[in-house]
Amino acid sequence: MARRKSSFSTGEAANCLEPAADPMGTPRLRESDDPEVVIAAPAATLRAFLRAAKAGEFDRMIE
């Protein structure tokens, strides 16, 4: 699987999720600081999560 690294993750920093799709097209996210950790989710679920994150719905979790 070809993975993409965020432009916000600079140098050797291990602070991002690396997206890819498996051969069936299922989105997979790999934790950059622990590459053995891979999360698979249906595309619709991932889209909903990304929309919520962009809207700030999880901001209170990091305060």
Domain spans in the chain, listed from the N-terminal domain onward = 17-58
Per-residue model confidence (pLDDT) at position 21: 86
Position 10 confidence tier, pLDDT thresholds 50, 70, 90: low
Contact in structure between 45 and 22 (CB atoms under 8 Å): no
- Asked whether the beta carbons of 18 and 28 are under 8 A apart, the reply is no
Residue ranges of E strands in 6-62: 17-21, 27-31, 38-40
What pLDDT, on the 0 to 100 scale, is given for residue 15?
65
**Residue 2 pLDDT greater than 70, yes or no:** no
Sheet of strand 38-40, all strands in order from the earlier edge strand to the far edge: 17-21, 27-31, 38-40
User: For 16-63, what is each residue's pLDDT tens digit?
Assistant: 778 888 888 888 888 877 888 888 889 899 899 889 989 999 888 876
The pTM for the full model equals 0.58
| For residue 3, pLDDT beyond 70 | no
